[in-house]
Structure 1
Amino acid sequence: MFRSAARFSSVLKNKGYKSNILLKGKECLSVLPSRNVSEDSKSFGLNLFRGQNHVDQVFPFPDVLDEEHKESLQILVDHTAKFFEEQNNSDKNDALETVEPETMQGLKELGAFGLQVPHEHHGVGLTNTQYARLVEIVGAHDLGVGIVLGAHQSIGFKGILLFGDDKQKAKYLPKLASGETMAAFCLTEPASGSDASSIKTRARLSSDGKHYILNGGKIWISNGGLAEIFTVFAKTEVKDEKTGDMKDKVTAFIVERSFGGVTNGAPEKKMGIKCSNTAEVHFEDVKIPVENVLGGIGGGFKVAMNILNNGRFGMVAALAGTMRYSIDKAVDHAAHRLQFGKKIYEFGAIQEKLAEMAIRHYVTESMAYMISGNMDAGFKDFQIEAAIGKIYASESAWYCADEAIQIMGGMQYASGSLKEVQKALQNPIGNLNVVMDTGTRMMKRRMGISTGVSFESVVHNDLATSGKQAAKSIELFGGTVETLLMKYKKSIIDEQMLLNRVADAAIDIYGMVSVLSRASRSLTNNVPSAQTESHMCQVFCEEASIRVERNLETAKSGAAYKRYKKMSDISNHVIQAGGIVQDHPLGF
């Protein structure tokens, strides 16, 4: 990531590497298959939905970089990490709601705006795997900057890389790679998201056949207020070769702000990633030269889907970096924070959080480099895998960030709900005596006979089934508590991973009783919303009863207990390592 590919090449030469490492232009891009593939897809994800098990794409784990490529990439990794640690101020970017000018200039000098642009067009020419490794670093430091960079190259001008002709590439890519001009991807409209067929923006051919006249608007466009180059999708009339009829089809266009008629709204106010510019973009009678059609007239849907499919893996890698950073911070705090005479990582509730965070990161990281490796190996179909990776990474990054906050921000070693469960079991032997004094209650439970819990007399008839679900949940809860008390006695207080499940079950049961009571009142009083309330109650009780049964069975399960012990071991290893335990998939 340097000011130019030539500067990058000279640095590698000083390190003893060949000048063409990573700079092979089209050969290194690897976003389209470089070899013929059979009509039978190798995609594991696609075949999964066909009921077939094709493992060629997932076994063995991709290893697409030789040692020389890895060593040269290490140089880029070191420079990128140093830049974000020493020059980028994420807090200031967030406060200013824009990337600082000095940071933008530094990114341009690093070559960060043209990571996958071929050398012949003044880019760095990285493969997908190499690109993933660098955006992982960005994701660990500043996701706002990551959006600025990603919206520019992962989707903004990716269409030119994938579908542009030689003239289009020669005209646009050099300035885009240097960061002199910024790019944006314009697909989303108020009535359509990634459903390109639903867009309303239109482009009509001028009477002289030299231009398309574009009118319409796009929303939520990342870099929308900064970009000079836009990949825009619009409906155009296309003649059906079979029938001769004119039909509307989506076409992709390369649009310059300098064409005139291109305006943008004010930056959107966002809850996060504030330094990335997000704005509406409007097109009014924009004259687009016919040579700026991208991917052929009517080929816009294919262009859009390929751009999105080729860009998603970058988000997976970036969020793997975010998760790694969150785990590092949480581990550092847990290893030093004292509560009740112990380091908080010694408590089961914290161990479970750290272990789950580490596991989710491991899965995300594995997905990121599985997908990028498949792309670099020339596999044609990876869209399902990329979509799965994006979803899993997004949800897991939220989970890790939230859990890190819980570990670092809490003053207690257990959550509030778990503390109350512990209080309820402060005297397990005494409580067990109370349980045993009830005579035949435990025996009835063991024999599957109801202990008498029923809501028949208090819930509305329409909610009878939900009432039975709640009653069953309460009986299961009582039986589980009895079992745990008998098995662990006083040591139950230390089994926090088990008690977490008991706490979750108690929360669900109380929720069931609460909605049963309220919905019954609404049904009895025949209020206007009674039927909707009844449906909400029924759905919640059905789903909650499933969760209660699952959590309580887990709390009693010997196999689950062994799993918790493994999670405790994982947590301890993460603490000892000061963060992530495993080596990076690329070895550094």
Structure 2
Amino acid sequence: MWRNTILSSSSKLVAVSGSAATSCRRLAVATPRLASSQQEKSKSTENESFMANIFRGSLVANQVFPYPDVLTTDQKELTNSLVDPFERFFAEVNDAARNDANSKLDDTTAEALWELGAFGIQVPSDYGGLGLNNTQYGRLCTIVGANDLGLGITIGAHQSIGFKGILLYGTPEQKQKYLPKVSTEKVYAAFALTEPSSGSDAGSIRCRAVKSADQKHYVLNGSKIWISNGGIAEIMTVFAQTEQVDPKTGEKRDKVTAFIVERSFGGVTNGPPEKKMGIKSSNTAEVYFEDVKIPIENVLGKEGDGFKVAMNILNNGRFGMGATLSGTMKKCIELATAHANNRVQFGHKLKTYGSIQEKLAQMSILQYATESMAFTISQNMDAGSKDYHLEAAISKIYASECAWYVCDEAIQILGGMGYMVDTGLERVLRDLRIFRIFEGTNDILRLFIALTGIQYAGSHLKELQRAFKNPAANLGLIFKEASKRAASTVGLGGTDLSGHVVDELQPYAKKTAHCIDLFGQSVEELLLRYNKNIVHEQYLLTRLANAAIDIYSMVVTQSRSSRAVKLNLPTAQHEIDLTKALTIQASERVIKNLQAATSRSSKALNDKMSEIALNILEKDGVNTTGVLDQN
């Protein structure tokens, strides 16, 4: 019926195929209820995230093309002026091996860091900090990552998450009181969220704060575990359950609230430093709160909004991990390259062997993509974007997994020498392992990527559902969606990236565009198949996320290498070659992952894997007959 209405309204609509129209209507009816109407309205009209929009089969390219370049000349000069003192600090003052062996930073090293301004990089200069933006901060992070990840955690836990909430949500009074302390007065900060019962599930925290009868303070009780800087921090951003009253219904319920807590309030203690696999020089401790009186003015953000505060702090800081680990990867590649250029085996230098060349090439491809992601995101943030959460999660996953691979391959190239402590790579490998776990485990973040993207797609499809109730008044929206699906069905139209990349990358942009179209179609198919139950299909959600990660890697590298060509940079051809190789690899993985997500045979395999896992869990481990066992 709706199709007849469209066709009678305009002769241009005869190109809409019946099958595409039917698909459009079915999709609207089958949309899961995943977002509130207010979210639907704002997201459908304002979200400029490239990744969010490909979930609904749309291209919104302004955050990725052209490659962002937001720093002014003065900002670039300021950043470059800080690079040398930071590098000299690591060359002349810091000793990463000593920090690791002692499981702490010595006083001289810590003092030099404070003098360098390393603990207040993004604090505005009015409060005593360096006043740098995200991109400038990222550049300094690459230096830290190349030299000492354990020290980097001390710095990052302090400012990337420790007092970041004060920068993002603090009142003028809170900023005036606390930012000078954490930037120049040598007062460490920490972010206290994790509890024994709430790791990635931040909503399940049990730490509790009860408001006093006079409404002037909260009394906090509970504990937090694995808190970076937990044993040295004097100021903490702490999250606790608080009783909130719904102003409309009067109903009472628990909601998380964020607080600025000073150790000087009393009742704040900590356990001994944890013994860890890596990042040993970073202080990690359990923190205890016993009847801690927190002034009401130390609520951070609004009461009951703590979960949002926590997530935005973590989202805001994730790009820094990508920048840091791109520096780590660069250092690993330099060590591996130096060894390959000089080591002789079987009468030839290692660099002449194809297997070594392949390793070095692959390591460089991953480093280039990691760095491209981090600085795409940071510059979008500096340009004022609020729609970067999916990209930041992708960057964190990609960086942490690629850095592990690159370091492992560097050790392999160095052979026995790489395994020795003196080379330093074994320490880097130990330090790297935590990055796939903290600030959101990669497994959870993959589900976050998939479900957030699907929610955004679902909110748009509910717009279509409403449009079908009054088709005459919504012909534009209905026709746009139906014609897009019709064109896709017959192989016409679709995503076009040709105007965004240089000529040499046109075939590779076409591969990426095909992946984007296939991705949108796959999301649509899965929504039709599973409706709201898609939230339980973690196997396929993970594959969707993996496809999204690879698509983003292709897009940012094509954008960055195109920029290099347009600016006639001396590295342009090498960047083009890195991009080509990455696109070939990533596009093949995207197609494979999307096929696995949508095919019935893959569903059968997923079901079998679940059955195997349940059997293992039931038996508390391996459940097979021993090879020497007899009847």
Q: TM-score range by the shorter chain?
A: 0.5 to 0.7
| Cα separation, 2, equivalents of 1:120 and 1:408 | 48
1:108 is matched with 114
Matched, 1:99 2:114: no
Which amino acid counterpart does residue 227 of structure 1 have in structure 2? A
Q: 1:246 aligns with which of 244, 252, 273?
A: 252
Q: 2:341 aligns with which of 309, 321, 335?
A: 335
Which amino acid counterpart does residue 204 of structure 1 have in structure 2? V
Q: For residue 532 of structure 1, report the CA deviation from its aligned partner.
A: 7.0
| Cα separation, 1, equivalents of 2:160 and 2:184 | 15
Q: For residue 531 of structure 1, report the CA deviation from its aligned partner.
A: 12
Q: 1:223 aligns with which of 200, 225, 229?
A: 229
| Cα separation, 2, equivalents of 1:286 and 1:529 | 44
Q: 1:73 aligns with which of 66, 72, 79?
A: 79
1:535-588 per-residue CA deviation (whole Å, 9 max, x = no partner) reads: 9xxxxxxxxxxxxxxxxxxxxxxxxxxxxxxxxxxxxxxxxxxxxxxxxxxxxx
| Cα separation, 1, equivalents of 2:370 and 2:169 | 30
CA-based RMSD of the aligned residues comes to: 2.2
2:94 is matched with 88
1:62 is matched with 68
In structure 2, do the counterparts of structure 1 residues 411 and 405 end up closer, same or farther at CA, with 3 Å as the change threshold? closer
In structure 2, do the counterparts of structure 1 residues 66 and 529 end up closer, same or farther at CA, with 3 Å as the change threshold? closer
Q: 2:49 aligns with which of 40, 43, 47?
A: 43
1:270-318 per-residue CA deviation (whole Å, 9 max, x = no partner) reads: 1111000001101010000000000011110111011000111111100
Which amino acid counterpart does residue 77 of structure 1 have in structure 2? V
Q: 2:265 aligns with which of 253, 259, 277?
A: 259
Point out 4+ residue stretches in structure 1 off by more than 6 angstroms. Answer: 528-532
2:590 is matched with none
1:294 is matched with 300
In structure 2, do the counterparts of structure 1 residues 411 and 221 end up closer, same or farther at CA, with 3 Å as the change threshold? closer
Matched, 1:347 2:341: no
In structure 2, do the counterparts of structure 1 residues 410 and 92 end up closer, same or farther at CA, with 3 Å as the change threshold? closer
Q: For residue 68 of structure 1, report the CA deviation from its aligned partner.
A: 2.5
| Cα separation, 2, equivalents of 1:110 and 1:293 | 31
In structure 2, do the counterparts of structure 1 residues 299 and 531 end up closer, same or farther at CA, with 3 Å as the change threshold? closer
2:168 is matched with 162
Q: For residue 56 of structure 1, report the CA deviation from its aligned partner.
A: 1.2
2:562 is matched with none
SS at match of 1:291: helix
1:396 is matched with 402
SS at match of 1:275: coil
SS at match of 1:213: strand
| Cα separation, 1, equivalents of 2:165 and 2:196 | 23
User: Contact 1:114 / 1:179 at 8 angstroms: preserved in 2?
Assistant: no
SS at match of 2:46: coil
Q: For residue 67 of structure 1, report the CA deviation from its aligned partner.
A: 2.3
| Cα separation, 1, equivalents of 2:185 and 2:155 | 10
In structure 2, do the counterparts of structure 1 residues 531 and 216 end up closer, same or farther at CA, with 3 Å as the change threshold? closer
Which amino acid counterpart does residue 319 of structure 2 have in structure 1? F
Q: 1:176 aligns with which of 171, 182, 187?
A: 182
| Cα separation, 1, equivalents of 2:621 and 2:44 | 54
Q: Percent identity?
A: 63
| Cα separation, 2, equivalents of 1:65 and 1:149 | 24
| Cα separation, 2, equivalents of 1:141 and 1:182 | 22
Pairing of 1:309-320 with structure 2 (within 5 A): 309-320=315-326
Q: For residue 359 of structure 1, report the CA deviation from its aligned partner.
A: 0.5
| Cα separation, 1, equivalents of 2:218 and 2:194 | 20
In structure 2, do the counterparts of structure 1 residues 183 and 335 end up closer, same or farther at CA, with 3 Å as the change threshold? same
Matched, 1:373 2:379: yes
| Cα separation, 2, equivalents of 1:174 and 1:52 | 45
2:158 is matched with 152
Give the TM-score normalised by structure 1. Answer: 0.64
Q: For residue 340 of structure 1, report the CA deviation from its aligned partner.
A: 0.8
User: Contact 1:196 / 1:250 at 8 angstroms: preserved in 2?
Assistant: no
Q: For residue 53 of structure 1, report the CA deviation from its aligned partner.
A: 2.3
User: Contact 1:113 / 1:179 at 8 angstroms: preserved in 2?
Assistant: no
Q: For residue 380 of structure 1, report the CA deviation from its aligned partner.
A: 0.9
Larger relative CO (CA 8 A, sep 6+): 1 or 2? Answer: 2
2:413 is matched with 407
Q: For residue 410 of structure 1, report the CA deviation from its aligned partner.
A: 4.5
| Cα separation, 2, equivalents of 1:133 and 1:529 | 50
SS at match of 1:42: coil
| Cα separation, 1, equivalents of 2:183 and 2:53 | 37
Give the TM-score normalised by structure 2. Answer: 0.59
Q: For residue 120 of structure 1, report the CA deviation from its aligned partner.
A: 1.1
User: Contact 1:186 / 1:218 at 8 angstroms: preserved in 2?
Assistant: yes
In structure 2, do the counterparts of structure 1 residues 297 and 393 end up closer, same or farther at CA, with 3 Å as the change threshold? same
Which amino acid counterpart does residue 170 of structure 1 have in structure 2? Q
Structure 1 or 2: larger helix share? 2
User: Contact 1:187 / 1:194 at 8 angstroms: preserved in 2?
Assistant: no
SS at match of 2:254: strand
Larger Rg: 1
1:185 is matched with 191
| Cα separation, 1, equivalents of 2:88 and 2:620 | 60
1:283 is matched with 289
1:557 is matched with none
2:480 is matched with none
| Cα separation, 2, equivalents of 1:529 and 1:312 | 38
Q: For residue 78 of structure 1, report the CA deviation from its aligned partner.
A: 1.1
| Cα separation, 2, equivalents of 1:42 and 1:137 | 31
User: What is the count of residue pairs matched by the alignment?
Assistant: 387
1:306 is matched with 312
Which amino acid counterpart does residue 115 of structure 1 have in structure 2? I
Matched, 1:236 2:236: no
* Bigger mean CA offset, 263-272 vs 46-55: 46-55
Q: For residue 69 of structure 1, report the CA deviation from its aligned partner.
A: 1.8
1:251-281 per-residue CA deviation (whole Å, 9 max, x = no partner) reads: 0000000000001111110111100000110
| Cα separation, 1, equivalents of 2:256 and 2:54 | 30
Which amino acid counterpart does residue 219 of structure 1 have in structure 2? I
| Cα separation, 2, equivalents of 1:48 and 1:533 | 43
Q: For residue 397 of structure 1, report the CA deviation from its aligned partner.
A: 0.7
User: Contact 1:37 / 1:380 at 8 angstroms: preserved in 2?
Assistant: no
2:279 is matched with 273
| Cα separation, 1, equivalents of 2:288 and 2:86 | 35
In structure 2, do the counterparts of structure 1 residues 328 and 295 end up closer, same or farther at CA, with 3 Å as the change threshold? same
1:466-512 per-residue CA deviation (whole Å, 9 max, x = no partner) reads: xxxxxxxxxxxxxxxxxxxxxxxxxxxxxxxxxxxxxxxxxxxxxxx
Which amino acid counterpart does residue 189 of structure 1 have in structure 2? E
Q: For residue 411 of structure 1, report the CA deviation from its aligned partner.
A: 8.3
1:130-166 per-residue CA deviation (whole Å, 9 max, x = no partner) reads: 0000011001000011000000000000000000001
| Cα separation, 2, equivalents of 1:169 and 1:300 | 18
Pairing of 1:546-557 with structure 2 (within 5 A): none
